[in-house]
Structure 1
Amino acid sequence: MKSLIALTCLLLTPLIAAVKPNVIVIIADDCTYSDLAIHGGQNAKTPNIDSLAKQGTIFDRAYLGMAMCAPSRSELYTGRLPLRNGCAWNQGTSRPGTKSMPHLLGDLGYRVGLAGKSHVQPASVYPFENVPGYDENCVNNPTRPNDTAGVKNFITRDDAQPFCLVVALTEPHAPWVMGDASAYPPKSLKLPANFADTPMTRQSFSRYLAEVTYMDNQVGELLALLETTKKASDTLVLFTSEQGAQFPGNKWTNWDTGLHTSLVARWPGVVPAGRRTPALVQYADVLPTLMDLAGGKPDASAFDGASFAPVLRGEGDRHREFVYGMHNNYPEGPPYPIRSISNGDWRYIRNLSPEKLYIEKHMMGRDEHNPYWSTWMFRSTEDAHALHMVQRYMHRPAEELYHTAEDRFEMTNLATDPAHAETKARLAAALDRSLTDQLDPGVPLDTPSAFEASQKQKPVFPGKP
C-alpha cells in the first residue's frame, strides 16, 4: 500500500506543479535567523514556525544583500541587488522604471497585494494592492492589533485568479513591547556568543524573544486562515526572518547574523516535507522562482537572481555558488562602506574605510530602543569579552575572513592566517568580479551626496543597467 501511495504522489506531482500556485510570503522584521529554534536557537518558543518547517523545506543557507529593511525588501521584490534596483541605502528609493513583483506576477495573471509594513518606494515601482489589517509602522508602541479579515477577503475574492500576498509583520522590530516577556526570565537566557553579558542586555533580549513568539502567533493565525478557507493545499507559503535583530553585530552589518535569513517553504505535494537543503540562495532569487512556478520565463538579464524551483521541488541541493552583501552606513551613521561574499562555508568581508570608527546612530546613541550599548561600554573596562565585542563592532580591519561553518558567530578573523590565504584570495577575486559587474564605485557610494541624489531619484551611480 505504501508503495502505491508513493507512486501515486510521484505521478501527481507534475500535474500539481503545472498549476499556478497561490503564494503567501510572510516576512518577520529584524529577526536574527539563529534565534529561531529551526536554526539552532536555544531560547525562542516558535511552535507555528516549527510546525511549518516540519510540513515543508528549510533553507539552511539563505541570505539577503543588505542587512537593512528597505534594501533587503527591494531586493526581494525586484530580483535585483540593492545597487542595481537603486535602493542601496536604508531610506533610499528604487530607480524609476524598475519592475517588481506586482508588475511581473501581474503580467502572469496574479493579483498581488501587501499587508503590513512596506518601507519601499516609489509607488510606481512597487504598486502592491494595499491589504488592510496589519500595522504598517514598525516602531509603534504598542503595535496595533492585527485583523486577518482583510487577508481573508483578498485570498478568497476570486477563486479563478491566483494571488500573491506579502504579509510584512512588524515584529520583532524594536521597540520590543509586544508579547509576554515573563516567559523569558533574563537570568535563565542563553546569550548568543556575539553579545556582551550585562543585565540590561538580558532584559532587552528577553523582550525581543517575547516579540519573536508574538510574531510566531501571527504566523499561526495566517496558516490557520489558509486551512479554514481551504487554500492551504494550493498555496506556496514562504516564511522569512529578514535581517538580524537590532543588537550590535547583527542588523546593519555584513556578518552572518546580519545577512543570513531564515527561509522556509511549504507547498503540499510539491515541496518535500521535513527536509533541509544546503542550497545557497539569496533574496534576489525569490521573484524569478515565483515567476518560474507561475509558468513565466524569467529573463536572466533582468535579474541578479535565478529560479531555485528545482530545489523547492526536491530535485537537487545546489543553486548558486556565492551570495553577496554590502553596507552603506549613511544616513544610519557616518559613512562606512562594506562589501562581502560568502559561499555558505566561508565569509570574506572588505571594509572600505577601515581607518574610521564604525558608528550606527540608532544602535549606539541614546535611543530608547537600545539602552544596552552603554552597558557594553561600561562593562568593557572589567570584562575581556565585553571589550572584545565593543572593539569588534567599532574598529574593523580592512579584511575579514571567517570559517562560518565552524565559527557560527564569526568570532575568529582568519584574514591574516597564511593557512587560509588561498581561500581568501579565491573569495576576494569573486567579490571583485561581482563589484565590477554591478558597477559598484565603492567608497563614493556611501556619501551624503550619493544618498541625496538617490532620494531625488537621480542616482549618481546607476549600477548595472
Structure 2
Amino acid sequence: MKTEKLLSVLFPSFAMMPVVVQAETGKPNIVIIVADDLGTNEIGCYGGANISTPNIDRLASEGMMFTNNYASMAMSVPIRASLYTGLYPARHGSYQNHKATYNSVKSAAHYMAELGYRVGRTGKDHPANQPLVYPFEKVSGFEVNCVASHPPVSTAGGIREFITRNADEPFCLYVCSINSHMPWDAGDASEFDPAKLVLPPNCVDNEQTRKEYCDYLAEIRLLDNEVGMVYETLEETGELDNTLVIFLAEQGPQMPFGKWTLYRYGTHSGFIARYPKAIKAGVVSDALVQYEDILPTMIDFAGGEPIEGLDGQSCLDVLYGKSEGERQWVYGIHNNIPEGDSYPIRSIQDKRWKLIVNLTPEVNYHCKYVTKPGSSMWKSWLETAKMSKDANWLVKRYLIRPAIEFYDLQEDPWELNNLASDPAQAGRIAVMRAALETWMDQQGDRGVLMDTQHPEDSALILTQSSSSGRGDCVSLSN
C-alpha cells in the first residue's frame, strides 16, 4: 500500500480502541454518503482542477482515501445493488439497469439489523420497489428522484431525528444524493468560467461541452455542500468521532466514455473513509477495491462474522493499516439493454493493466441517453467532428470499438492508446483473459445472452423474483 501523509496527525494504537469504544458508547455508527454520477477526476483531493470540494477533501485529510476503487458496472441500479448486497451483478440479478435484484438475496438492511443496527436510507432510492430485499427505514431530507428538475435543497432534519432517536442503538445510514446526476439544472453555473475549464482529454472541446460541463460542476458544488451538512450534523449531535463515515462517488458522469461504459472515466470511483479511533488521518491507499467490498467491510467493522457466499471481501485491515490489500483483480460487466441495443462488455484489471472485451464488436455502440438526437452535447460533438480530426477520432472511437482493448493505466489513465495489437502485450492479455473467463464462469455470467430482453423484464424495476440466474458460461473466444 502506498501511503502519503497529508497531515502529520497520529492517533493512539488501535489495539486498545475496542475496549474504549465499548466502554464509552457501545458499537460505533456507520454513515455512507453516496454521490450520483460523480467523476472522481473532479474531486479536489483526487486532483480535480476545476472546482474546490472542501468538505469531501476534509474527509480525506481526516481519514483514508482509496485511489483504486472501481464500480463493476457503471450504472446506478446495478452498482447500488452491489453496494447493498456484496454481490456482483450476475449474482444479485440486477445485471441490466433497472432490472430487479433477486428476491432471495439479502442486503445490508438485513445484515446490519442482525448486528443490532437501525438501518436507514435518505435520498435516491435505487434499487426501488423491493421491500423484501431492501427494507431500509425511509429517512426524509434528501430528494428521491434522481432526474428531478430543480429539486429542493437537501435538509438535515430527518438525518438528525434518525441518529438521535435512540442513543442506546447504533445506526447505519445511507445518505444518497442525486447530485451530480443529469439534468444538471440545480446548481449555479455562474461560479465557473467556461473558458478556464480543464476538460478531460477524452472530451471534444467546444463551446457546448464547456457550457454543460459548468452545469455539471455546479451540481458537484451542491454535493460537496451536502457532505458538509452531514459532517456538521454528526458533529453537532456528538456522534462524529464514533461514526465510520464513508464517501463514495458512484460511477462517472453521463458523458461519452463515462457512465454506461467500462472505461475508467465510468468505473473509477472515489472512496474515502473516516474513523479517527482506528483509521489514521491523511493516508492514501492504492489497494484494489470494488463496491462489492463495502458491505463485508461494514459487517467486519460492526463485529460480525464473514458472510459465506458474498463476492466482496472486507478491506477493514487496509483501513486500519494492517494490510496492503488482497485483491489481484477488479472486474467489470456491462449489458447495454435497456439503455440501448445489445452491446455486452466485460473487463478485468489490476493496478496498472486493463483488459476490455467487447463481445459484439461487429455492431456499433449506442446509448439512448448519450447519443440520442436530442442530446445537445452529442450533437455538438458530431458537428465539431466534421471539422476536427481529433473530434472525429473521439466520436468514432466511442461508437466503433474493437473486440479487444488493452491499456496501461499508469501511462494512459484516460485509455486513449489501445495496446491490444502490441506483440509485447500478448502474454499479459492471455493471462488476464483467462482470469476473466474464470470469473465469468464462477459468476454464472452467460456473456452475450445476459444482454438480451428477457420476457419477464420491463423498463421498470421488477418486483417479482427470478431464478438464481446462474447458467453455463459463454466463452469469450470469438
Q: For the superposition of Structure 1 and Structure 2, which TM-score range results when normalised by the shorter chain?
A: over 0.9
Moved more, 85-94 or 179-188: 179-188
2:247 equivalent to 1:242: no
Aligned pairs (5 A) from 1:8-19: 8-9=12-13, 12-15=16-19
Report the AA paired with residue 437 of structure 1: Q
* Whole-angstrom CA distance in 1 between matches of 2:54 and 2:186: 17
2:292 equivalent to 1:284: yes
SS of equivalent residue, structure 1 residue 277: strand
Per the TM alignment, residue 240 of structure 1 is displaced from its structure 2 partner at its CA by 0.5
> Do 2:10 and 2:280's aligned partners in 1 also have CA atoms closer than 8 Å?
no
> Do 1:450 and 1:460's aligned partners in 2 also have CA atoms closer than 8 Å?
no
Change (3 A) 1:450 1:86: farther
Over the matched positions of the two proteins, sequence identity in percent amounts to 41
Of 332, 349, 361 in structure 1, the residue corresponding to residue 356 of structure 2 is: 349
> Do 2:50 and 2:197's aligned partners in 1 also have CA atoms closer than 8 Å?
yes
* Whole-angstrom CA distance in 1 between matches of 2:324 and 2:11: 23
Aligned to 1:255: 263
Per the TM alignment, residue 331 of structure 1 is displaced from its structure 2 partner at its CA by 0.6
2:188 equivalent to 1:180: yes
* Whole-angstrom CA distance in 2 between matches of 1:224 and 1:305: 31
2:232 equivalent to 1:224: yes
> Do 1:33 and 1:261's aligned partners in 2 also have CA atoms closer than 8 Å?
yes
* Whole-angstrom CA distance in 1 between matches of 2:471 and 2:214: 43
Change (3 A) 1:172 1:8: closer
Aligned to 2:140: 132
Report the AA paired with residue 314 of structure 2: S
Of 320, 331, 335 in structure 2, the residue corresponding to residue 324 of structure 1 is: 331
Aligned to 1:364: 371
* Whole-angstrom CA distance in 2 between matches of 1:265 and 1:194: 29
Per the TM alignment, residue 450 of structure 1 is displaced from its structure 2 partner at its CA by 6.2
Change (3 A) 1:16 1:433: farther
Per the TM alignment, residue 459 of structure 1 is displaced from its structure 2 partner at its CA by 4.1
Aligned to 1:268: 276
Report the AA paired with residue 93 of structure 1: A
> Do 2:74 and 2:259's aligned partners in 1 also have CA atoms closer than 8 Å?
yes
SS of equivalent residue, structure 1 residue 48: helix
Moved more, 74-83 or 416-425: 416-425
CA deviations over 1:6-30 (Å, ceiling 9, x no partner): 6954553343576522000000000
> Do 2:104 and 2:465's aligned partners in 1 also have CA atoms closer than 8 Å?
no
Change (3 A) 1:40 1:187: same
TM-score for the superposition, normalised by structure 2: 0.93
2:175 equivalent to 1:171: no
Of 112, 116, 119 in structure 2, the residue corresponding to residue 105 of structure 1 is: 112
CA deviations over 1:72-99 (Å, ceiling 9, x no partner): 0000000001110000111110001100
2:92 equivalent to 1:85: yes
SS of equivalent residue, structure 1 residue 191: coil
> Do 2:334 and 2:346's aligned partners in 1 also have CA atoms closer than 8 Å?
yes
Change (3 A) 1:409 1:326: same
Change (3 A) 1:269 1:429: same
Report the AA paired with residue 67 of structure 1: A
Aligned to 1:314: 321
* Whole-angstrom CA distance in 2 between matches of 1:248 and 1:431: 25
SS of equivalent residue, structure 2 residue 83: helix
Aligned to 2:82: 75
SS of equivalent residue, structure 2 residue 369: helix
CA deviations over 1:400-419 (Å, ceiling 9, x no partner): 00111211101101011111
2:238 equivalent to 1:233: no
> Do 2:199 and 2:205's aligned partners in 1 also have CA atoms closer than 8 Å?
yes
Change (3 A) 1:85 1:17: farther
2:63 equivalent to 1:59: no
Unaligned runs of 5+ in 2: 1-8, 473-478
Moved more, 8-17 or 143-152: 8-17
Of 102, 117, 140 in structure 2, the residue corresponding to residue 95 of structure 1 is: 102
Aligned to 2:29: 22
Report the AA paired with residue 294 of structure 1: A
Change (3 A) 1:11 1:312: closer
Aligned to 2:396: 391
> Do 1:28 and 1:168's aligned partners in 2 also have CA atoms closer than 8 Å?
yes
Report the AA paired with residue 156 of structure 1: T
Aligned pairs (5 A) from 1:362-441: 362-367=369-374, 370-441=375-446
Report the AA paired with residue 264 of structure 2: D
Higher helix share: 1
* Whole-angstrom CA distance in 1 between matches of 2:318 and 2:303: 16
Report the AA paired with residue 79 of structure 1: G
Report the AA paired with residue 350 of structure 1: V
Change (3 A) 1:415 1:278: same
Aligned to 2:6: none
Change (3 A) 1:459 1:357: farther
* Whole-angstrom CA distance in 1 between matches of 2:412 and 2:380: 26
> Do 1:59 and 1:276's aligned partners in 2 also have CA atoms closer than 8 Å?
yes
Of 329, 344, 347 in structure 2, the residue corresponding to residue 340 of structure 1 is: 347
CA deviations over 1:286-327 (Å, ceiling 9, x no partner): 11111111111122x320001111011111222311111111
> Do 1:133 and 1:150's aligned partners in 2 also have CA atoms closer than 8 Å?
yes
> Do 1:337 and 1:443's aligned partners in 2 also have CA atoms closer than 8 Å?
yes
* Whole-angstrom CA distance in 2 between matches of 1:10 and 1:156: 27
SS of equivalent residue, structure 1 residue 449: coil
Change (3 A) 1:6 1:243: closer
Change (3 A) 1:401 1:17: farther
Change (3 A) 1:334 1:382: same
> Do 1:35 and 1:42's aligned partners in 2 also have CA atoms closer than 8 Å?
yes
Q: CA RMSD in A?
A: 1.8
Aligned to 1:149: 157
Superposed structure 1 runs of 4+ greater than 6 Å apart: none
> Do 1:89 and 1:451's aligned partners in 2 also have CA atoms closer than 8 Å?
no
> Do 1:61 and 1:260's aligned partners in 2 also have CA atoms closer than 8 Å?
yes
> Do 2:102 and 2:468's aligned partners in 1 also have CA atoms closer than 8 Å?
no
SS of equivalent residue, structure 2 residue 230: helix
